[in-house]
């Protein structure tokens, strides 16, 4: 059993994984916490599951450097297991071939590993969180980089927080592209703008890489647009956690 933690800018995801199957899954708001607070959080989460589901391995990826050490220490001390930090410098199951591997977010490395070992390569992973990331992994399991763009929600908030006449709106698929009210216009711009961004960037990556490879989507906001893209995709909401599991336990990698 592996406990996998994805510490994101907005949300922290915790999964209790049996192999690459999520036996339990939690999402909590990311904020500053002490190591003791992280320990109490982990204890309370694990108290909600069968006591026989005890992790013997742990992995963590983080895009919040100030919180990484405290959380890793809390996982190790609370659960009594070593905690592997997944990043561009660690042995994570994919070869990281970029100019500055130390600067690559651990979630992007985990996504590449998850896509490669779950679905094979080459593949493009699109993850919609605070940022929207596009990452490319080759057929040989080499991570070669990608694209970082504003996330769907981040872009929408920027719109209504900085344009004084525009209200906050529900982010959803509108009935048509041409809106007849301000709210409908905003919803159209947010939804179809995100759809066009994914469509356009994926096709640019296809052209540059020389093949129309598999596209794997993850991140909760991808559920909004996944069915409207003009090409086949795989949607895997637990991809990052699976990638952490592959990074932590090399024995899981045998299928590729």
* Rounded distance between C-alpha atoms, residue 213 and residue 222, angstroms: 19
3-state secondary structure of 229: coil
3-state secondary structure of 196: helix
* Rounded distance between C-alpha atoms, residue 27 and residue 6, angstroms: 10
Q: Which segments within the chain are labelled E, that is strand?
A: 2-7, 11-18, 21-29, 57-62, 83-85, 95-96, 123-128, 131-137, 142-150, 214-218, 234-235
- Label residue 80 left, alpha or beta by phi (over 0 means left) and psi (-120 to 50 means alpha): left
Give yes or no: 232 in active site: no
Q: Which of 87, 107, 127, 135 is catalytic?
A: 107
* Helix, strand, coil % in the chain, rounded to nearest 5: 40, 25, 35
- Is the omega angle on the peptide bond into residue 239 within 30 degrees of 0, that is, cis? no
Strand order, beta sheet including 123-128: 95-96, 142-150, 131-137, 123-128, 214-218, 234-235
Residue 86 has φ and ψ, to the nearest 5°, of -90, 120
Residue with structure tokens 């040989």? 140
Strands 95-96 and 142-150: parallel
Which residue numbers are catalytic? 107
């Amino acid at each position: 059993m592996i406990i996998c933690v994805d510490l994101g800018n907005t949300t922290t995801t915790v999964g209790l994984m049996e192999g690459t199957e999520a036996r339990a899954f939690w999402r909590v708001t990311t904020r500053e916490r002490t190591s003791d607070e992280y320990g109490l959080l982990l204890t309370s989460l694990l108290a909600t599951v069968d006591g026989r589901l005890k992790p013997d391995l742990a992995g963590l990826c983080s895009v919040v450097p100030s919180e990484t050490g405290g959380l890793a220490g809390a996982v190790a001390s609370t659960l009594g297991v070593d905690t592997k930090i997944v990043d561009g410098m660690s042995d994570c199951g994919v070869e990281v071939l970029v100019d500055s591997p130390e600067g690559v977010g651990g979630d992007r490395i985990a996504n590449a590993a998850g896509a490669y070992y779950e679905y094979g390569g080459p593949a493009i992973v699109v993850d919609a969180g605070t940022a929207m990331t596009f990452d490319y992994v080759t057929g040989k399991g080499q991570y070669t980089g990608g694209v970082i763009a504003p996330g769907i929600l981040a872009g929408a908030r920027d719109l209504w927080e900085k344009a004084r006449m525009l209200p906050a709106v529900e982010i959803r698929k509108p009935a048509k592209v041409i809106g007849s009210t301000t709210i409908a216009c905003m919803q159209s711009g947010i939804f179809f703008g995100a759809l066009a961004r994914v469509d356009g960037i994926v096709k640019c990556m296809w052209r540059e890489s020389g093949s129309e490879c598999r596209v794997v989507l993850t991140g909760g906001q991808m559920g909004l647009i996944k069915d409207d893209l003009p090409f086949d995709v795989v949607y895997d909401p637990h991809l990052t956690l699976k990638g952490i599991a592959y990074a932590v336990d090399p024995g899981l990698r045998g299928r590729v």
